[in-house]
Amino acid sequence: MRHIYMVGKVCDKPESNNLTEEAKKELEELGEDTSDYVVATKAKKQQIIKDYTAVASNGGKGVDILDANGNYKNMFEIMNEIGSIYAELQAEDKKYGENRSMALIEELAGSNHSFSRIM
């Protein structure tokens, strides 16, 4: 069963969102594996990164990877913001027995290291 994530909605039919199919096709053309593919919108990726990077120094809001217009920030800006809180994130992981710092790295890299493609 495939799930395609749209803004605030989960669907089981790939034909329900043409933009999703276009994104899948583009990834296939780039050689990415799309079997059992889960399409995450910018908003979903944004929330995941915010959740992993929510620390006391940023008021629990996390690092936002999108700008005010909903476009991805440039990679340097994102990595700079993450770098500024990463030591704090690791300290919280150690204190609370969590592993958000590693989950963040895995999320950024993706299973096929596709993070650099979206930037």
- The gap between the terminal CA atoms of the chain, to the nearest Å, is 29
Please list, in sequence order, all residues whose beta carbon lies within 8 angstroms of the beta carbon of residue 2, skipping any fewer than 6 positions away.
Answer: 12, 14, 36, 37, 38
Q: Supply 5's token pair.
A: 């994530």
Q: Cβ–Cβ contacts within 10 Å for residue 80, how many?
A: 12
What's the pTM value of the predicted model, to 2 decimals?
Answer: 0.60
Residue 111, pLDDT score: 56
pLDDT tens, residue by residue, 19-69: 567 777 887 888 876 665 444 567 788 899 999 999 999 999 999 998 888
Partners of 39 in the β-ladder: 4
pLDDT tens, residue by residue, 69-99: 878 899 999 999 999 999 999 999 999 999 9
CB 5 within 8 A of CB 41: yes
